[in-house]
Amino acid sequence: MSENRPAAERPAAEADEVSLLLDDQMCFALYAAQRALTNRYRPLLDEFDLTYPQYLVMLVLWEHGALPIKSLGKLLQLDYGTLTPLLKRLQAHGLIRRERQASDERSVQISLTEQGAELRKRARVIPATIGQAAGLTATEAGNVKALLERLTANVTASQ
Amino acid sequence: MSENRPAAERPAAEADEVSLLLDDQMCFALYAAQRALTNRYRPLLDEFDLTYPQYLVMLVLWEHGALPIKSLGKLLQLDYGTLTPLLKRLQAHGLIRRERQASDERSVQISLTEQGAELRKRARVIPATIGQAAGLTATEAGNVKALLERLTANVTASQ
DNA sequence: GGCCATTATATTGCGCGCACTTAAAATTGC
DNA sequence: GCAATTTTAAGTGCGCGCAATATAATGGCC
């Protein structure tokens, strides 16, 4: 297959065509990195009985306090199909409360329990541990973050 | 909360502690970008009745030809729990064959059907379309790819 | 040649993530 | 003030991903 040769050797007709090779694809690097990183979080989060998406919800609640599900979804870019059962599990673990708003009976307010708020102190170690494991300089991590955010904005807009 | 102020204003005790703020986390940018990109692939792959992980399997088969499941797993960094049912679905769609190796009855060889091989021609458009939507320069995409691969290697090694 | 560790795959269970549908409350239009 | 529309959430179904377990074939090893 011509794709197994370096670009310089390929026929001109294929020169401007993007490769179908796995190793040429930034998308696969992204896909693999996301799973590898989530796997790295797992042993850390196991100590709190949290999954990575659940940890993200806790981050938002620690930062913003009580929020309706809708707002959680906007911040995390997740829909109700994901959040509704996830939040019920967090509630079952005693970390959050779910309460209908009196002002708008459609809305469900999510707030931290004492126990959920407590967890924050112990969780402070996690970002540093992950930062260590990632092995990127602050500049590199910042660059990746900025480029990924542009990527997300671009592909979301072109839908 | 002190985390809502810029780093310069924070007390010294917190200065070298990594933030728990969602927006400060490269990990969330990675998590969000991966999902956004997969969502961008979806309408393209729907035309081939493929999911993104199934598309990755097809990429590998187009590139390498027939392979045992084990090798597919190594290349894609996926385990049997993911691959076994995924490959059965690809087989049900008539894109691949699954055959026990005579030389080693434990091994299952995965090969492309005529129809699976045919698909490659039509799939050639996909990388270019995604590249357009991503809106990064080739240099930027290359940098992200390289940094993500380092990240993956680092977090995998530190397990 | 039979025992034992290893290897390749399958199965089960669970938690996302997303599409699609349903339902109830709130808002808007007239 | 009531019908039509919009908003917020829940329910269902399906395909990953991964942990844990099971099973069968292989390869030493004595």
pLDDT digits (tens, 9 = 90+) for A17-62: 568 888 778 999 999 999 999 999 999 999 999 999 999 999 999 9
φ and ψ of B84, to 5 deg: -55, -55
Residue B9 has pLDDT above 70, yes or no: no
CB neighbour list of residue A141: distance below 8 Å, 6 or more residues apart: A131, A134, B26
- Assess contact for B152 and A29: CB atoms under 8 A: yes
A127/B28 Cα distance (integer angstroms) = 11
User: Amino acid identity, residue A112?
Assistant: L
- Cα–Cα distances in angstroms (integers) from residue A94 to residues A103, A123, B26, in the given order: 25, 16, 28
CATH number for the segment(s) A22-129:
1.10.10.10
Q: Do A41 and B27 touch (CB under 8 A)?
A: yes
Task: Output the six-digit token pair for A39.
Answer: 């796997």
pTM score of the predicted model: 0.89
A111/A114 Cα distance (integer angstroms) = 10
- Closest residue of B to A63, CA-based? B21
CB neighbour list of residue B54: distance below 8 Å, 6 or more residues apart: B45, B86, B89, B90
Answer for A53: CB within 7 Å of strand D: no
Strand C positions closer than 7 A to protein CB: 7-13, 15-20, 24-27
Q: Do A52 and B31 touch (CB under 8 A)?
A: yes
Residue in B3, B10, B27, B136 to test binding to A, most A beta-carbons within 10 Å: B27
At B38-79, the pLDDT tens digits run 999 999 999 999 999 999 999 999 999 999 999 999 999 999
pLDDT (0 to 100) of residue A158: 76
Residue nearest to nucleotide D17 (CA to C1'): B82
A154/A135 Cα distance (integer angstroms) = 27
A3/B97 Cα distance (integer angstroms) = 24
Which chain B residues are closer than 8 Å to A22 by Cβ?
A: 56, 59-60, 63, 75-76
Rounded, the Å distance between the CA of B9 and C1' of D24 is 64
Name the residue among A28, A33, A150 with its Cβ closest to that of B56. A28
Which chain A residues are closer than 8 Å to B55 by Cβ?
A: none
Strand ranges across the sheet with B67-68: B67-68, B108-112, B96-100
Task: Output the six-digit token pair for B39.
Answer: 């969502």
Which chain A residues are closer than 8 Å to B60 by Cβ?
A: 22
Residue nearest to nucleotide C21 (CA to C1'): A81
Rounded, the Å distance between the CA of A104 and C1' of C30 is 25
Task: Output the six-digit token pair for B115.
Answer: 């129809």
- Bridge partners, B109 (sequence order): B68, B99
Nucleotide nearest B90, CA–C1', reads D15
Q: Do A127 and B18 touch (CB under 8 A)?
A: yes
Choose among A69, A67, A63: nearest CA to A117. Answer: A63
- Assess contact for B63 and B112: CB atoms under 8 A: no
At A81-132, the pLDDT tens digits run 999 999 999 999 999 999 999 999 999 999 999 999 999 999 999 999 999 9
Looking from the CA of A75 toward its CB, the CA atoms found within 13 Å total 19
Per-residue pLDDT band for B23 (boundaries 50, 70, 90) equals confident
- Closest residue of B to A26, CA-based? B145
